[in-house]
Structure 1
């Protein structure tokens, strides 16, 4: 390497370091975190550490930043690095054109958003043929410059006559003036200052309007057939609803803004006073705005509003999905799963308390077959044969007729503690037709596999639901209207977070579940299962190092989230990372107890009495790490989901006709959306608790009050028998009586 090349490389490293520090400072300011926290987090991410690992096992280094904060830092680092890359690219392209000035370079380098960079780059971007480019080809640029100079005296027609050239297509002075105006209009439309102001003004004052293309057509969009609302005040769900109506060719959507203020602003930027060309410049301003700026800004603002709607929809879906994944497992029960149907009959699957399939069957208790007697006999046979304690019914087609039948079976059979449960079966059909389901149950048909999935998602919701593509689990709002790539990325993050929060039993986990563990990919997950199948159960965490393609970095990232419940080392069933096992040894020596005490009430009580800060000094370990270690030792093998209440089990069915206003009911939250929550109260359709009925106090968003899976007390507000709708409230109507 020559001396010159070494200098260039050193300069490059210095510039990279400066850029990294600039990004760190900006994120620290935006997120109101310390420079040290941002620097450390960025460094850990750059070293290939996952967010679940950093959040759990690097608390001292990050100042105990949680997963959400870490993901916020990761998102901003990615955005700002992409921004810096784009700045370099734009500067290079403009420089190659020979048009880069020091002032322009500084403006690009100081830009804080990608939109600002694109606005500055706009005049230099290669354009397709435009009216302005045609005018330039005709040699009219000097005339446009003369007009822009705004001479006090002079005759514009006389000046324009100098450019008349029939061969170039400029037949008259008016043609020349028109072409020069096109050039000026494009220059104004490309001006970064003007565009930024107009964009901001339009967002602040623009009215989003929608009207019906055919006012006589009946549709779900009738609320928007003649609609106007200030764009910046529109709630996300309304933006997506109008977008869908437009996409389905039912609505015509626009963005209205009064142009006078915009014309006046542009005039202040362009017109220096009275001149011979002032009327021409006024016309140029109006043309530039109406023909070039307004349509472009409308597209940008519509895109910004759509992004706002999408982000909210994805956020709601993500929150609901996390709540659903973390539902408490119903353990220790033999379960009968029922995939209801009409013509093809109800598919049944019996699974034992470990989820192992014992038997499948089909019955026809629903229309058009109505073979209730035969179906009841089959149910009775399976219930007695396997000691079934819970019947789980999918909430799809024919679910309520099946529920009525099951309630009658329970009433007739008189088995104590036998109950039924309706579960959200969204995604069960997707799973049952998947390659994974075919490998798991090659001898079953699609509906039988679906019945197994329905039964298992009560026993361990997380383990079963991870087998399904996250977006197929229907707990969202407008999920089909958003960027599928963004949705997939966000939901994958949610599943990863939930799996690592709970941890996985490495000796029972499926490849689907293992693939979401920190640092583990699909190939490594399959290798773990293959190794387990060939060599028997893992006896300790160290043994995972023998799995092909599971290298040192992957081991470090994943091992704390892997559990071995009956292995050589009792610590392997806890969330304590093996890197901290020596700390546990020192702790036990300090307290004078042995490993055999792990899990006993005596040890839990002893650990609970410790002064964490003093003990951390003695053991030479960070306080956050020691706090986590003590918690893990007090409750080894704890499943965090077990602290949540179990779903509501039912023995009898409720009909919409049974409901009266004021009636108190117990229900389960099935979905949370922008304007409220849908609650399963045991009738055919879920009831709606509007956001205004969730609490007696102000509610900013329903997710602040309820989550999917919550058991709630509700009261009937109103019943619409014709539409099958029920309005509910969580505000006790009898309070204060």
Structure 2
């Protein structure tokens, strides 16, 4: 609407007079109970002036406001869903990763160990062919020296070019290390923030960015929560959405993602701990300081030793905190400590340890009558589900993804190409897909194939990996039209049905010369409309049987027949002399 592509009118265009007449007619029917009263015309004139001057504009404003609120809510939910899906991407895990940030602030590479700490870094350049060769050799040396298991490349400027260069170089060197393109959204702003300076004080800005890129592959949730969710760019045009509406949706999306995964109490950063229910930035910093002074937390119960953290706050947050490998096996799961007593009693009845109730042993808890009675049937399924998971990450296993190496820019796309892509945004009119170029392509709703129904569109989510086919490329407008699937739909010619033959028309009898025509009726005659016979109306307004029709001037005017009324006025009946 701000760009002039959409205009809103109430009832039609601004010059449509019929809409106002209909409104005035409805008002007249409802308000003028006595149409012939002296104030009827004044009331109608007042309504006409009020409608044109104030009422219509006020109604249009209310409708526009309601539609804008609905649009903002839908856009905020779509943007928040994109952020949530980005936070919940499967992690590569605590393994050595090489992070490469080819951003405009300087190109740098950094290696992080399994804990995410930076262990080595090096600047690089790809300006000339010699620079590319030296850069590739230096990066391969880092991979060999630190037993790197994956390479993460930021998707900023020159990201695709460096990704393809590294993938080909690693393949030529017989190093089976995957190269993954990760989002660089918000990394530049974070690298210059106070939090980044306190976390990595001795690192330069490009190296901080490279370390953050590597960590985003190891654990996207733990690293991306450091960035404001609005800066993650998981959607289109977030600046057009009302600020409070979008902010609430984004905060809810981040909290939902954090609580769904859980937080490792001994490795989480202050930014991640601050998202846990009941824990704010102040308590998060206090937890990290206590951990740095006293070592890792041995159990959830040790959280009460943190200054300022009360039992009430701990009760809210403790169910979302995890302590893997601690004193209490249940601390590695999502089971709340309030249920520990019931599970310990169950283990005693079964003569088993608590660790034997995890995984396959959780089914024994479901069959235990004592646990069912104490926990309740409603919560029993949740407890068993957490025991069965054994604290496993619900985000799933990491599967590397790669775009086509021969497509680096928009000009490389050709109609008919089949490309792997990632859905970046879903709208009511289709889905935007990233195929590895600087502009996302649009899969219109009419090209969703078998998913063209509304229910199928709702199953498409940001982050989904799909195969798309290029339909059209407009280089001047920087637009790409895509279709979901790998093959163009084959349109089968419709089979023409034989035209049904009309039934034979009845033959009319021939009339001989001099003979009277037959009066027999045919079907065609039966279908012809018959003219109504004129009936004479008696005093009781009922037709008089067998009466001859009166002359025109003496006929009574028919009901709702203005022509009959005019005829009676033009030829009034003559009075008979007495």
**In the alignment, which residue of structure 2 is the partner of 1:681?**
435
Alignment TM-score, normalising by the size of structure 1: 0.61
RMSD: 3.1
Range with greater deviation from structure 2 (628-637 or 486-495):
628-637
Matches of 1:394 and 1:672 in 2, distance apart? 23
**What is the CA distance between 1:727 and its match in structure 2?**
3.0
**In the alignment, which residue of structure 1 is the partner of 2:362?**
607
Change (3 A) 1:572 1:231: farther
Contact 1:687 1:726 in 2 (8 A): yes
Matched, 1:313 2:75: yes
Change (3 A) 1:475 1:386: same
**What is the CA distance between 1:408 and its match in structure 2?**
4.2
Matches of 2:167 and 2:395 in 1, distance apart? 29
> Residues 363-411 of structure 1, C-alpha deviation per residue, up to 9 Å, x if partnerless?
11047x9722332232122222222232222222232333343344334
**What is the CA distance between 1:269 and its match in structure 2?**
4.8
Matched, 1:437 2:213: no
Corresponding residue to 2:248 among 464, 467, 489: 489
Matches of 1:232 and 1:695 in 2, distance apart? 35
Contact 1:647 1:711 in 2 (8 A): no
Change (3 A) 1:671 1:386: farther
**In the alignment, which residue of structure 2 is the partner of 1:362?**
123
Corresponding residue to 1:260 among 21, 43, 54: 21
Change (3 A) 1:653 1:477: same
**In the alignment, which residue of structure 2 is the partner of 1:24?**
none
> Residues 537-591 of structure 1, C-alpha deviation per residue, up to 9 Å, x if partnerless?
1111111112222222211111111111121111111111110001111221233
Matches of 1:419 and 1:306 in 2, distance apart? 45
Range with greater deviation from structure 2 (555-564 or 259-268):
259-268
Alignment TM-score, normalising by the size of structure 2: 0.76
Change (3 A) 1:725 1:389: farther
Matches of 1:270 and 1:346 in 2, distance apart? 75
**In the alignment, which residue of structure 2 is the partner of 1:388?**
148
**What is the CA distance between 1:473 and its match in structure 2?**
0.8
Give structure 2 stretches of 5+ with no counterpart.
493-578
Matched, 1:376 2:136: yes
Matches of 2:14 and 2:217 in 1, distance apart? 47
Change (3 A) 1:275 1:471: same
**What is the CA distance between 1:619 and its match in structure 2?**
4.8
What does 1:53-452 correspond to in 2, within 5 Å?
221=3, 224=5, 258-271=19-32, 272-341=34-103, 345-366=106-127, 371-412=131-172, 414-452=173-211
Matched, 1:469 2:224: no
Matched, 1:648 2:409: no
> Residues 125-158 of structure 1, C-alpha deviation per residue, up to 9 Å, x if partnerless?
xxxxxxxxxxxxxxxxxxxxxxxxxxxxxxxxxx
Give structure 1 stretches of 5+ with no counterpart.
1-209, 213-220, 234-252
Contact 1:341 1:366 in 2 (8 A): no
Aligned length: 488
**What is the CA distance between 1:323 and its match in structure 2?**
0.9
Matches of 1:292 and 1:353 in 2, distance apart? 68
**What is the CA distance between 1:438 and its match in structure 2?**
1.6
Change (3 A) 1:365 1:547: same
Matches of 2:109 and 2:395 in 1, distance apart? 28
**What is the CA distance between 1:606 and its match in structure 2?**
4.0
Change (3 A) 1:697 1:706: closer
Corresponding residue to 2:329 among 530, 551, 570: 570
Matches of 2:379 and 2:323 in 1, distance apart? 21
Matches of 2:113 and 2:45 in 1, distance apart? 80
Change (3 A) 1:409 1:617: closer
Hey, which of these two has a bigger chunk of helix by percent? 1
Contact 1:679 1:687 in 2 (8 A): yes
**What is the CA distance between 1:626 and its match in structure 2?**
2.2
**In the alignment, which residue of structure 2 is the partner of 1:59?**
none
Range with greater deviation from structure 2 (714-723 or 544-553):
714-723
